[in-house]
Structure 1
């Protein structure tokens, strides 16, 4: 049985001074960087999504954290993050599940992907 999360994120990396993008977006007149976020969840309740930048290059994805308040333990399940872009190859990334129910975090490796190389994020959590 698998549970799938799709998070579309048109992420613009140029000129951003923060160390992380989150699923909530605000518009600020002092910056020209705009992001779009969308989350559709089936089976797992994800409370937030955080896109962390590589400390040495803020245009590169370090990891993505999916916070959950899922009522039962996700221990023993596997998780994989998929990054997509309409004109680039799809890539899959390994994830680790930490914490205890209901406060669990799924952290997925960015594997050095450049923010401009994806606009859709998918998460699959499942087991046998």
Structure 2
């Protein structure tokens, strides 16, 4: 084991309160590393995105259950483009949301799967 992100030494079922605090993961699914070495994880069970530094220290999180802007219903895939925008596949809401750096806002992207896959310069991982 090189590094562990978001875990706890305490045993607990995924639906327990043990996996709901900031920096803890409940059914993590997608993962991506940006150009600065920050790790983004789709925390599917908590309907949020969590961000860690390269040493595994928690930085921030966003999201929560819902269908409004910035909310998720089972986020799975995630990508970061060369400009630092984060793209999240919000599967339960049938959409992709884009989050831009420096609090510029978020945007919903909708369309055919092939169109959404054409994000220029994106680094992608899925089901890691």
Relative to the length of structure 1, the TM-score reads: 0.33
What's the TM-score once normalised by structure 2's chain length? 0.33
Q: Which has the higher strand share?
A: 1
Instruction: Name the structure where helix makes up a greater proportion of residues.
Output: 2
